[in-house]
Structure formats: C-alpha cells, structure tokens
Amino acid sequence: DTAVSQTPKYLVTQMGNDKSIKCEQNLGHDTMYWYKQDSKKFLKIMFSYNNKELIINETVPNRFSPKSPDKAHLNLHINSLELGDSAVYFCASSQEGSGGYNEQFFGPGTRLTVL
Amino acid sequence: GDSVTQMEGPVTLSEEAFLTINCTYTATGYPSLFWYVQYPGEGLQLLLKATKADDKGSNKGFEATYRKETTSFHLEKGSVQVSDSAVYFCALSGRSNYKLTFGKGTLLTVNP
C-alpha cells in the first residue's frame, strides 16, 4: 500500500500554463508538506499544513497556491508557469506530537518541466 | 535560523570501503536529527533518526550519533555496497516547527 502518493509523476508543460499536482496520504497523519528539489538536488520547504490549516509559507511566489480539502490531501496549483519552476516537487506527511520529533514520510515526487 | 551543513560530494568508494559523511547543524533548542536517502529516480526515505543528545540512530548497517557538544550527526557505514549508491541528506527538525531543514545532499557512488 502506498503511504504518500502523488500524481502525476511527470508533468511537461509550456510557460504560462496553469497546472496542478495532487498528493494523498493514507497514514492518518495530520500534517502535510510540499518541498521543491532543484536541479542540484537541494530540498526546500514550500508549504506546511496542519489539520487543513496553512502553517508555513516559505516565501513562495503567489503563483503557487496549496489547497487542503481534508487532512489526507494536499494539492498544489501553479499559475502562469515559468522556466524556473522546473524542479521535482515532493509531498510529505507527518503526525504532530509523535514523540517530540517530526518524522516525515515522502511521496515519490513529481518532475515538472516547463518549456 | 536553523541550518544544516554536510560535506560536499560526490563521494566515490569501492565496495566494502568505510563511509563517513559529515553533517553539522545550527539550531535553537534541541532539534531532532535525521538522515534521509534518495535512490536514483525515487523519493526520500528515512534512513535513521535521533531525537536527543547521545542517541545513536542505526539502520541497514548505517549509524549516526547525535553529538550536542560538536553539533554533529555524522553518517557512517563500515562496509558499503553497490546498492548504497544514492544521495544522502542530513536534516533537522525543531520541536515546535513544522518543517525539515535539509543539508545540500551528498551523492555517493559505490563501485564494484
């Protein structure tokens, strides 16, 4: 059973388009995240949601809008795609209060290529 | 703010060689520390973790000890295998925040 799943796995699109990436977790966790991994493999947090509430927004452009319809889903919508948005986007989840540490479980990633 | 510094790669070793990947951190309070591994074309998997000073995390022959005095969490393995070839990330999480802060990753290649 897949714990954290993302769709699509690959996304190729033209500059200026709008696209969405979906994430679902079946672990019963209450916190979900989006990370961006650039071409040099550097990983950086974008957003964090706890019980459907946005708690972290790390200076991400307004073109990126996360949406959490329920605790098991966190989707990422990107407007007016730019070349610099090309990256691998990872979704993750964790359970708050799990022994005082934040073990996160990651999805397989979505490779976004903007042409 | 929190930060993680890990040794620059790439690291290339022969099978059965000893591996060390250095990781040091800067954080307020007492963070939890993690090593994640990313195999080619895959997402991140938790390799091991430590939540307090002097804790030793271990998994699949890998070990790392939480050293508060040197703010370090170095990853070691006594005898690497070709299948260990991957990118390794050191990360920390503060106790009251909701994010992982990652190091830049170290690419390990193990040759037969």
Looking at the complex, report in whole angstroms how far the Cα of residue B43 sits from the nearest Cα belonging to chain A: 4
Enter the tokens of residue B79.
Answer: 């005898």
Substitution target from B11, B93, B98 for chain A, most A beta carbons within 10 A:
B98
Determine the Cα–Cα distance for residues A17 and A114; give it in Å rounded to an integer: 9
- Mean pLDDT in residue range A19-40: 94
Name B23's bridge partners: B6
Statement: residue A100 has pLDDT above 60:
no
Which of A31, A56, A108 has the CB atom closest to B43's CB atom? A108
Percent of chain B predicted with pLDDT > 90: 77
Mean residue pLDDT across chain A: 90
Supply the DSSP string of B18-46, one letter for each residue. Answer: -EEE-EEEE-SS--EEEEEEE-TTS-EEE
Torsional sign, CA A50, A52, A54, A58: positive
Which residues from chain A sit within 8 angstroms of residue B32, using beta carbons?
Answer: 100-102
Cβ pair A100:B51 closer than 8 A: yes
- pLDDT (tens digit, 9 = 90+) per residue, B54-112? 999 999 999 999 999 999 999 999 999 999 999 999 999 876 666 889 999 999 999 99
Determine the Cα–Cα distance for residues A70 and A68; give it in Å rounded to an integer: 5
Say which residues have a Cβ less than 8 Å from residue B95's Cβ, sequence separation at least 6: A100, A101, B29, B30, B31, B32
Looking at the complex, report in whole angstroms how far the Cα of residue A41 sits from the nearest Cα belonging to chain B: 7
Determine the Cα–Cα distance for residues B59 and B17; give it in Å rounded to an integer: 18
Looking at the complex, report in whole angstroms how far the Cα of residue B73 sits from the nearest Cα belonging to chain A: 16
Determine the Cα–Cα distance for residues A115 and A11; give it in Å rounded to an integer: 11
Any B CB within 8 A of A101 CB: yes
- Give residue A99's pLDDT band: very low, low, confident or very high (50, 70, 90): very low
Instruction: Answer yes or no: are the C-beta atoms of B73 and B20 closer than 8 Å.
Output: no
Determine the Cα–Cα distance for residues B83 and B68; give it in Å rounded to an integer: 31
- pLDDT (tens digit, 9 = 90+) per residue, B2-60? 899 998 889 999 999 999 999 999 998 888 999 999 998 888 999 999 988 999 999 99
CA angle (A110, A84, B98) in 5-degree steps: 60
Cβ pair B43:A107 closer than 8 A: yes
Which of B95, B99, B105 has the CB atom closest to A41's CB atom? B105
Cβ pair B102:A44 closer than 8 A: yes
